[in-house]
Amino acid sequence: MQASKLRASFILAMVLGLALLPGAVWGQSLKTILVPEPPTIGSFVRDRAAAITLGKALFWDMQVGSDGFTACASCHFHAGADNRTRAQLNPDTLGGDTTFQAGTRNTNLSRFKFPFVKFVNPNDPSQGVLRDWNDVVSSQGVRLFQFTDIVPGNAVDAGTPLTDPIWGRRFRRVEPRNTPTVINAVFNFANFWDGRANNIFNGANPFGAADTDATGNPNRRIVANISGALTPVVIRIRNASLASQAVGPPLSDFEMSWRGRTWPKVGKKMLSLPPLAQQVVHPQDSVLGALSKSTLVSGVPTNVPGINATYADLIKQAFAPRYWSNTTQFVTFDANGLPTVQTGAPVGTDQYNQMEANFSLFFGLAVQLYEATLIADDTPFDRFQEGFPNALTPQQVFGMQIFQGNGQCNVCHLGPEMTGASVGNLLAPPDPVPGVPVPAPDPTKNPPNAIELMPFSVGDALYDVDFTNISVVRTANDPGRAGTAPFVNPRTGAEYPLSWASLAILKRDGLLPPSVAAFTPDLPVGFRPNDTRPTPDRAVNAGATKVPHLRNINLTGPYFHSGSAATLMQVVDFYSRGGNFRFGNFPDVTIDEDGDIPLEISPIGFIRGNNANKSAVVAFLMGLTDPRVQEERAPFDHPQLFVPHGVNFSVTPPADFVMEIPPVGAAGRIPAGLQPLQPFLNVNQFLH
């Protein structure tokens, strides 16, 4: 169902005082939804199982980080998210703030710090504010270094330490937005909170078709073996936002990389190293177990790290030979990351064989295929939708009625995916015509439902479907969807906007190069049936972030893109009062038809001040937990991991506190003697 039609049905239900019955809107388990997949994946991947094996190894391998210690999984090890509590504060660098309010660089958070914006009466902001902190709870990455080079055979890159103006040299930098879960992320049409992980994977970075040269032509960063000759080619793979997302953090100096590292350098390093050389892989791992160097003794894995395979072997098994098979030529890259092909064998660390040169392509697609297996679709809610009425308690059923009806929660958290920002919603076919068969969603086309016309306080404007400003923070604290890609549009002299609506306006006016316009949605015809008003020339994206899905939300705190709430009750309080700053953010928040009430974030009278009704909603949200995720049963099992957890000043010199995340096999945590995963800070989710 398209988002605009669903919004209309909910507004009508609210006006009439109706509460929708369980299943009246969703009616489906997530099991009924096909997992999105790149339509051209067969042109690149020849063995899916090998690609998934490669993707899981790369995702969990700490050697990918410049420090030899930071993996993708370092921020996604707890229900696909991050539950660390010490040294996890960012002072709101996106908003230009450099001072901490909720603690210090090494603060170990407690539940008493939350919520960061706290009112005298959580139901009524007009009664006064107890605190107003703009800090963000996120994930610590690497310390700030200038990249010098890789050291083949060594997991740690060569680099020069730099003094960060906020974190100095002792502390790891902390990302500016809270870490979202990778579980079920495959259903998102775009990834990251601001959607910069484009649905189109260009093989090298998150920004899709916006990766153009100074004339607007697409950059050729990947080399294919065509008739025995290495040839730079354009890569544009649809339905691959997870691949776009995967190639971002390994080069980010906030996350995994010394500043200035490139993907070919990562490729040359990783291909010189044994996979997972510092980490034990459970012999019963659902993907990697058959390759594990460890064995079971009395049911416990021996302390032997690594797997019996090389990254080169896995790439050869997984990917089409045209992307790795040339052995007679090598590649160098210029300052803009563009390849030049030469004849001979590579020498030193600045010349690359084809496999090294294309490592970003392998990394992105392999990680996407691995993450596409992380589907949480067996929650009590899913079972309820499948016809098992006792899967949810009576309190949870009541909470679901509120969620679907008076609470209007699935105005945005819609469909079995529980987000309107899903591939299924954005690619849904147009409104059916009587007697005409409804076509299936077409992943080879631009999304027909990506943009809506909505009323704002300054008049009608365009916005990206389910990227919303819900006023968790002030708009000035985070640009959100109003951000840009780091490539200049030669027709405007400015960087390409992230927003589909902003790009579509440029497309309409002939201000996009054809290589970008081809992957840009068209503007909608009108907001209401038979609407003939001209399409506005403005898009409202400031402060808007992607609507996340909600499965396993009990385990993925802290909440919101700011990480500023610790319990689900604090989240429900937020929505019941109509947000924190909705009137301060008024120009960037959609309004109702009368032009005076914020539409997508406004007080919910049915639960405002009613703890019983709020508790029912919290109980329902807790019923969205897949027990396989909580117990880390396959496919959610994983290798051993060590993660930094702040700085220990009781030793000389000061060093990281380190947490071990033990290896878990397909049977999960319980047979290993481990307790199920718990909420952030082990909080009681019903606490305000």
Residue located via tokens 């700030």: 144
Q: Is the pLDDT of residue 196 over 70?
A: yes
Q: Tell me the pLDDT band of 19, cut-offs 50, 70 and 90.
A: very low
| % of the chain residues with pLDDT over 70 | 91
Question: For 181-193, what is each residue's pLDDT tens digit?
Answer: 999 999 999 999 9
| % of the chain residues with pLDDT over 90 | 81
CB 458 within 8 A of CB 587: yes
Q: Tell me the pLDDT band of 22, cut-offs 50, 70 and 90.
A: very low
Rounded CA separation 247/263 (Å): 9
Closest CA to 614 of 579, 574, 581, 582: 574
Q: What's the mean pLDDT in 191-199?
A: 98
Q: Angle 359-371/48-60 helices, nearest 10 degrees? A: 100
Dig out the tokens for 526 from the structure.
């009108």
The least confident of 46-60, 90-104, 130-144, 444-458 is 444-458
The least confident of 158-162, 261-265, 428-432, 517-521 is 428-432
Q: Tell me the pLDDT band of 453, cut-offs 50, 70 and 90.
A: confident
Average pLDDT, the chain: 91
Torsion of CA 528, 532, 536, 540, to 10 degrees: 0
Rounded CA separation 60/182 (Å): 13
149 compared with 1, residue with greater pLDDT: 149
Domain ranges of the chain: 41-76+141-173+182-275+310-375
Closest CA to 179 of 634, 685, 643, 652: 643
* CA angle (423 as vertex; 418, 428 as ends), nearest 5: 95
- Kindly report the pTM of this predicted structure: 0.94
Residue type (1 letter), 637: D
Q: What's the mean pLDDT in 426-442?
A: 76
CB 107 within 8 A of CB 99: no
The least confident of 248-257, 429-438, 462-471 is 429-438
Rg of the Cα trace of the chain? Answer: 25
Q: Tell me the pLDDT band of 471, cut-offs 50, 70 and 90.
A: confident
What pLDDT is stored for residue 323 in this prediction?
98
Q: What kind and span of H or E run contains 451? A: strand 451-456
Torsion of CA 504, 506, 512, 515, to 10 degrees: 0
Beta strands in 521-654 (DSSP E): 545-546, 641-648
Sign of the CA dihedral with 437 first, then 441, 446, and 450 last: positive
φ, ψ (nearest 5 deg) of residue 664: -130, 135
Q: Helix, strand, coil: what percent of the chain each, to 5? A: 25, 15, 55
Q: Tell me the pLDDT band of 533, cut-offs 50, 70 and 90.
A: low
